[in-house]
Amino acid sequence: MSVLQKRAWSPYAAGVLIGLLQIPTFLFMDTALGASSSFVTVAAHLATVFDPAADKIKYFASHMWGAKNWWQVAVVIGIALGAYLSMRLSGARRRSISPVWQRATGTTTLAARAPLAFLGGFIMLFGARIAGGCTSGHGISGIAQLSVGSTIAVAAMFAGGIATAALFRRV
């Protein structure tokens, strides 16, 4: 079996590969790996559909155009493509929802899971935009640059995450 067809790699090998992506990102894009601001780029363009004045808002305007903003949108689309490719090669297709939700929240159907998934996504991006980065931008990239702010943000993420997971049933 080829290494590309395996269902799981060592987390250390996968982590190293992700870390190496900083090389093209710093050399070609003059920035660090990140993911959450791409949601703003897409949301800003969606906003202009029903609110033509949305692009007058500075925050939206600064995320709408240019190579760096669209580079990150392409990264997250690439993430979906790469995960699909890897899943097809290994055959580890995921269906509906993860069985962990039955253990954690007693949820077994997509319909029952959808509201919490939507709310979780909302809270996740709202928090990431207040903090100015997510697990990628603050986490993988910020700590790798010895950033004080990113280290604080990551500690806060784990604090919020651990407190919330304590409300779930033990998985």
Footprint on residues 101-120 left by other proteins (CB under 8 A) = 101-104, 108, 110, 113-120
- In the complex, the smallest distance separating the C-beta of residue 74 from other proteins, rounded to whole angstroms, is 3
Q: Does 67 bind other proteins (CB under 8 A)?
A: yes
Binding positions for other proteins, 15-34, rule CB under 8 A? 15-33
* 27 vs 52 by CB, closer to other proteins: 27
d(CA 93, CA 97) in angstroms, rounded, equals: 11
Helix boundaries (H) for 51-145: 58-64, 67-90, 100-105, 110-131, 143-144
d(CA 36, CA 20) in angstroms, rounded, equals: 20
Q: How many residues bind other proteins (CB under 8 A)?
A: 139
- In the complex, the smallest distance separating the C-beta of residue 52 from other proteins, rounded to whole angstroms, is 14
Q: Does 92 bind other proteins (CB under 8 A)?
A: yes
Q: Does 56 bind other proteins (CB under 8 A)?
A: no
94-111 burial string, b = 16+ CB within 10 Å, else e? eeebeeebeeeeebeeee
Binding positions for other proteins, 111-170, rule CB under 8 A? 113-166, 168-170
Pick from 1, 2, 8, 49 the residue near other proteins by CB under 8 A. Answer: 8
135-159 burial string, b = 16+ CB within 10 Å, else e? bbbbbbbbeeeebeebeebbeebee
